[in-house]
Structure 1
Amino acid sequence: MNLSGKRIILGVTGSIAAYKSALLTRLLIKSGAEVQVIMSASALDFITPLTLATLSKRPVMSDFSNKNSGEWHNHVELGLWADLFILAPLSANTLSKFANGICDNLLTATYLSSRCPVMLAPAMDLDMYQHPSVTSNLDKVASFGNIILDAESGELASGLSGQGRMMEPEHILEHVYHFFSPKLDFKGKKVMVTLGPTQEALDPVRFISNHSSGKMGMAIAKAFQIQGAEVFVVSGPVSLDLKSENFHLYPVHSASEMYQAAKSIHGQMDICVFAAAVADYAPAEVAKEKIKKQESELTLHLKKNVDIALELGKVKSPNQIHVGFALETENGEANARGKLEKKNFDLVVLNSAKEEGAGFRHDTNKVKIFHRNGKEVQSDLLPKSRIAELILREVKNVPVWI
């Protein structure tokens, strides 16, 4: 693949694996990329800036200013310049700084200023790589949306053998190619995603709702769009910037409004993902004026809302795929499996409201996916963007895939 026009920052930290950064720089340059190398102070002990400057055809940066010329290295401009930021090798020390927002050198400052995707290729000895503090930091930076290029196994500098070797430059290059060449498996498909909460009015100023942020649905909608789909988003009230995305957007408030919007486009869809947290009940009557605080107790009479997925499942055509969600606090698997049949889902994505780091408002999630044919797929706690990719992969495995 040709990386012509792609701007890549290569961060190099203090590790014996720093010698591999020379080959990685050469491979990126040979592929047509522009490469700016930034080194930490400790990296200078392992490989010379002259080597990387010669290969990258750019002066290597390691400090906020060039002490000879007095030139200022603007970390903000660097962060905005790049299309991709690769840290290879990434030491445990710099990983800790990234995870905790420590900004004490040009490399960490550029990382915190960067708006582009970040790939992290850790390199350290076996026991360090497996230490709970390191694994915790890797999970933490992954939750920021950083792409972790897991260390490979083999002989280590200490003489031990195991996982900890920086991913080989050729393998990193493959990830870079994949990043800049997303698959278009859903090109030509129309996808509807419902997301966010619904708000059921009590009076002109109050409503019943839930804690859904819409982040999981947003991640799914973006993943489908990246893979070529035309995406229709039916969204309850969320603080996400949906208007800046190239979606067909249907903003709603109540469950009834969401049902009408979803119903109006359902027949055109190839795939429907019901990720919204729709209120099960709504007030039987909405007060025309603000309800005043008078009695010590207030009794609300609720009526059952329309079950959007259930109703649209009744008119689902044989060549449509429906994906549902089940957020549970108990008997999760049994309830999720029950929804497969009851609501005519092809897939159900189960997550628990009690799982730390998963569910509403978090940037991460942990799910179990159930297929109608009995297949089950369990994820780890991952950024919601990666959970979305997993869900799309399982959609492609549905037998009725068109």
Structure 2
Amino acid sequence: MSRPITASLNLEALRQNLQIIRRAASGARVWSVVKANAYGHGLDRVWSALGATDGFALLNLEEAILLRERGWKGPILMLEGFFHADELELFDKYRLTTSLHSNWQVKALASAKLHDPIDVYLKMNSGMNRLGFAPERVHSIWQQLRAIPNVGELTLMAHFADAEKPDGIIEPMKRIEQAAEGLACRRSLANSAATLWHPETHFDWVRPGIILYGASPSGQWQDIAASGLKPVMTLKSEIIGIQTLHAGACVGYGSRFRAQGEQRIGIVAGGYADGYPRHAPDGTPVLVEGVKTGIVGTVSMDMLAVDLTPCPQAGIGSPVELWGEEIRIDDVAAASGTVGYELMCALAPRVPVVTL
């Protein structure tokens, strides 16, 4: 019998989340962002539940080819474009939309031998300073691309570093508007936070990522609690051992937790080798038999300990939700000093995944 830890994926929640996003950005088309193996959910498991999307956005050629082989005929946007010029042969074969963020990519596309033009997203650096052309270069690059026969439909693309903040798009939007002045161009600007909270950024295409999977782009679940978005992934396990501590007894490596009095704890089959954060502190929320409690002691590779004081009825085999429908992944992440994105993507291959 396998270990009791499992991740379950609620595909109906994924479908509903996409519809909520459509309503939030009703005037725009939707790129469903499925990079990082669909944020750890498994692209091959979930893509069909997003079949009502307008397009998929991702990074890896292998994942783009997988979508084509599974039968997806709609647009696919490669968010970082091609990494080597010889990849353009596959972009042509599989009809992929490329982003362009560097001079060498423009030259490579101009020199490529393609069967048909490919669509291009011109990436502008709006202040995040990762990828993209400086605003003052957008006009000249745009005109340069317009003259290249290999370029099909052209769209201006940018990204926001602080869209979860009420004023987080003000300065970037000024730069974008100045750069795009005089250009009759399609635009794709809005990430998850901008899609939810800044309708003025929606334009032609929005690019929701984390909200598709039911977590908050701000890292605070309360910020999306009224949106109707639901968690897609639930990580569950069981109690496999019980210990009764006396005052002064410790739990786990490093003896981080010390009982103040007699205390009953449960040992759960789940640890950092499954994707649970090793640095989660005492009190990180967990659900045992429907009762909220917290972990105690340092998370081990294969196990973690939970306080059973609030749930004295719990015993061997009692169900434990580590995150999901009741224990929000954002809350686990916030307690652990990280974000829900990281926890989703860190789900280990050894954890069995079931779809509902």
Tell me, yes or no, whether TM beats 0.5: no
TM-score by length of 1: 0.27
Q: Report the TM-score, using the length of structure 2 for normalisation.
A: 0.29
Larger Rg belongs to: 1
